[in-house]
Structure 1
Amino acid sequence: MTNATAEKPLHSVSVAGIVVREDGRVLAIRRADNGAWEPPGGILERDERPEEGVLREVAEETGIAVEVEQLTGVYKNLTLGVIALVFRCRPVGGVEQLSEESTAVRWLTPGEAEDAMKEVFAVRVADALDGEAPHVRSHDGVRLLAA
């Protein structure tokens, strides 16, 4: 191993929930830090199982309690070294509320989510809804990269 390789930081792992209501709408937040629409999620804590992290992140950012149904995708941001584990979830309680991390919480149709979100987040919604999970994709933070 070269020094350059040894000095690179470890990857971080994030989790996100594609929360789907019975009417097919998906839960989205407008992030406080950059104004972008995204599925709720965040960095997985060291002592958390991925499913626990999804429950925590969705509740913290939206006020909605969820049940995890299935891993739907693994996404790597090659620019930042972040690996995101994305799960389809269903709401089981709570009421939409804002947090320090969200300036809006909305239930969007899949089409609205595709229009509102950057490609790398819209694809996570589409992947969660297509029933062919799990997907494995890489991106540069904005665009998907060819396999």
Structure 2
Amino acid sequence: MATPDFVLSLREKIGTASLWLAGVTAVVVRDDETLLVRRADTGAWTPVTGIVDPGEHPADAAVRETLEEADLHVVPERLASIGVTDEVVYANGDRAQYLDHTFVMRYVSGEPSPADGENTEARWFRLDALPPMGPDMLSRLDAALAGEQAARFGTSSS
């Protein structure tokens, strides 16, 4: 997994202590399909996700992450939800919790491919034929695909 340099720098100082990070989820929509990627670390199908770099606008991070992870050019259309994840504990013991910004992204161009090694597959799924996903990712997809104009404000599941 590609860990941003600023996170590696923080880890040198705090070890595996929990970090509070801004994250994004990019729900890319094309007609009656959505883009999903299969994560290399867990094998789970998810929308594109990533960490917001210091000083970066979350919508710009969603565009960047989609290009880096799936080789697609997209445009943000709206903020669908803001939520807080449960704490994540990675295989190396690092812990983090994320303020997630889920965006609806409009497809512009490109063919999906696992571009940066964080994923093993990237492809379109019909909205009525999604693969199994965890409740958190399904909630993000639901918020993005519901067509609501206002963003949802999620609460922690803990």
SS of the residue corresponding to residue 11 of structure 1 reads strand
Q: What does 1:68-79 align with in structure 2 at a 5 Å threshold?
A: 68-79=76-87
| Per-residue CA distance 1:19-46 (angstroms, 9 max, x = gap) | 0102x21000000111011100200000
Matches within 5 A, 1:119-130: 119-130=135-146
TM-fit CA distance, 1:9: 4.9
Q: Which residue of structure 2 aligns with residue 87 of structure 1?
A: 103
1:125 and 1:98 map into 2 onto residues whose CA distance is: 20
Which whole-Å CA distance do the structure 2 matches of 1:90 and 1:21 have between them?
7
* Structure 1 match to 2:120: 103
Q: Is the 8 A contact 2:113 2:123 kept in 1?
A: no
Q: Tell me the equivalent position of 1:47.
A: 55
Q: Which amino acid aligns with 1:51?
A: A
* C-alpha RMSD over aligned residues: 1.9
Report the residue type matching 1:33 in the other structure.
Answer: D
Distance in 2 of aligned mates of 1:131 and 1:75: 18
* Structure 1 residue 106: Cα displacement: 1.4
Structure 1 regions of 5+ residues with no counterpart?
1-6, 140-144
Aligned length: 133
Within 2, Cα distance between the matches of 1:89 and 1:112?
A: 19
TM normalised by structure 1 equals 0.82
Asked whether the 8 Å contact 1:110–1:126 carries over to 2, the reply is no
1:62 counterpart residue number: 70
Deviations 1:64-116 (A, max 9, x none): 11010000001211324211101001111112111301101111122333x42
One-letter code aligned to 2:24 = V
TM-score of the superposition, structure 2-length normalised? 0.77
